[in-house]
Amino acid sequence: MTPLHMSHVQSTTPSSTPPLMHSWQQSSHGLSESPLPPLNPSPAITGGTFAYDDLAAATDGFSDANLLGQGGFGHVYRGTVAGQEVAIKKLRAGSGQGDREFRAEVEIISRVHHKNLVSLVGYCLHGEQRLLVYEYVPNKTLEFQLHGSGRPTLDWPRRWKIAVGSAKGLAYLHEDCHPKIIHRDIKAANILLDYNYEPKVADFGLAKYQAAEVTSVSTRVMGTFGYLAPEYAATGKVNDRSDVFSFGVMLLELITGRKPIMTSSEYQPETLVSWARPLLTRAVEEENYDELIDPRLETNYDAYDMARLVACAAAAVRQTARSRPRMSQVVRYLEGELSVEDLNAGVMPGQSAMQRSSGGTTDQINRLRRMAFGPGAGGSTGTGAITEYTSSEFSDPTTEYGLNPSSEYTASSAGDTGEVAAGAQGQQQWHGRRAPGDTERMSRRTTGRRTQS
């Protein structure tokens, strides 16, 4: 293989682009506004720009044999650079973004360092071609591990680790990055897992590269049917609470083991959120979660942690954005540093499950169904039988790690999804008080099994 030639990234970020800082670096705290440290990849690879020919050689000409998967942003290939495995993402053309703007965006992404976020190694500009290079992550995605055909049951300790770690990564994007980064496509397929099942949020900062044919529901809306917040689907306006809603859907997947889109007995697509609404209300009010819990877990889960996960999911998928908690509140509650009253922020438990609205939510869901699955999918009169739905952007699978899995993995369904990621330094610190009534309500974890009544 031809030796890889790289050059360090020269700063091309426009002067108007605000520096990316930790919250403790903001001027409001009286400290310097110095930016975050530069790109910090594996020592085997020097961060910077890559030559297109070298990346082509690393992937055998972007051959199908090295294709890890494909999705709304483009294709992902496995390759070897300087003796280290990497994942190379070829972004779809046609974003209308110039070289300077692209470099500015890459500059922001490259300065984001957190244990639970994808780590960018470098990039390549070659004519109309734009490529991003990430460290390779071997354990695929949460979607693959939770929903993959023939996969063993994802056990409770791993589900809990994935929930907490993903929350920390998303909270970092929302509250410790300046400018704030809103993901806009949080889903199980964008949660990558390392050898230890430590989660890493992928695909943040790539909104301009979503395929046009995938965003046909609205020219303003990107995301995945089943995860979209109601206000985002209806207006195209997004904020950090829209991400919180999508995160809540992912929590429901971890709790129930169900996919975000299901098939009802009438062969109509049903969202996991609409199915879970009455169950969440009863579970929160009665502190009984049996109707929600993934039956594959049997009794092998921690009741204390399950109660917290259900409460977080109920709060996160509230109908109105302003009534949802911030991700930092979610993290603090999951870690026992915040009370359920503070998590609910004045919303009564009966309301917090979903905050039912009159007809708006149904209309929004039906609108999305019709555009995603065709004219017959929007209401009770539809007759088309729907047998399976993956957590794709509407009808187009976002398959990354899973389309052509490498030999050490078992092939799965076409809906298996993934990206590429690696850990980085920097763990967010959280402060607050422990929930006062949680210890009294149920015994803290002892054997790792559910408290038997």
Among the options 53, 60, 176, 185, which is catalytic? 185
115 is in an annotated binding site: no
- Strand order of the sheet with strand 84-91? 6-7, 48-50, 120-126, 129-135, 84-91, 74-81, 67-71
Taking the C-alpha atoms of residue 178 and residue 78, their distance in angstroms, rounded to an integer, is 32
Query: Taking a C-beta distance cutoff of 8 angstroms, is the pair 129, 90 a contact?
Result: yes
Enter the tokens of residue 396. 């187009």
Enter the tokens of residue 73. 């942003």
Enter the tokens of residue 133. 């290079």
DSSP assignment of 147-179, as one string? H-TTPPPPPHHHHHHHHHHHHHHHHHHHHSSSS
Taking the C-alpha atoms of residue 164 and residue 167, their distance in angstroms, rounded to an integer, is 5
Taking the C-alpha atoms of residue 87 and residue 76, their distance in angstroms, rounded to an integer, is 6
Dihedral angle, C-alpha 17, 22, 27, 31, nearest 10 °: -130
Enter the tokens of residue 291. 């109707």
Strand residue runs (E) in 113-244: 120-126, 129-135, 191-193, 199-201
- Supply φ then ψ for residue 146, to 5 degrees: -90, -40
Q: Is 185 in the active site?
A: yes
- Supply φ then ψ for residue 376, to 5 degrees: -85, 5
Cis before 179 (ω within 30): yes
Annotated binding-site positions for ATP: 90
Query: What residues act catalytically?
Result: 185
